[in-house]
Amino acid sequence: MVFDTFFNSIFGWSIALSPLFGIFVVSLFLTLVTTLIYKYTTKQEKLKELKTELKGLQTQMKEHKENPTKLVELQKTMWQKNLESMKHNLTPMLITFLPVIIIFQWMGKTFSPFGDIFWTFGWLGTYIIFTLILSIILRKLLRVY
């Protein structure tokens, strides 16, 4: 496949050092690219505002947990805010979906022969662990909401 040659030329050096390091490098690259796409294709101010409003609604829900009528009203508002937030995140999700699927196919072919890479995790589990950690770090550093 054309992509195999392309991705091997970009990431092959890191895999040659260690499969674990190779997955780390691919995870870092993908997480950085997707984080930057999210940052520049969403309205960060609006997402920050929505996040703040959702935190406020959660606090109000805790205060009114004995009042079912008020609780239902707050849940409806929270649902609307979550839906609005999801709408903002749809564009970057669509932009990153196909490239990530293509890279995942390459990763499966490349890393599956190594078996367990990190403790008892295969390539996918290792990728997920690295991505979760790197995503938190990069989102904080780049101020992505």
Are residues 91 and 38 in contact, defined by beta-carbon separation less than 8 angstroms? Answer: no
Q: Tens digit of pLDDT for each residue in 98-107?
A: 999 999 999 9
pLDDT of residue 32: 97
Q: Tens digit of pLDDT for each residue in 5-64?
A: 999 999 999 999 999 999 999 999 999 999 999 999 999 999 999 999 999 999 999 988
What is the mean pLDDT of the segment spanning 128-134?
A: 97
Residue 133 has pLDDT above 80, yes or no: yes
Percent of the chain with pLDDT strictly greater than 90: 81
Q: Model's pTM, two decimal places? A: 0.82
Q: Locate the domains of the chain by residue range.
A: 2-142
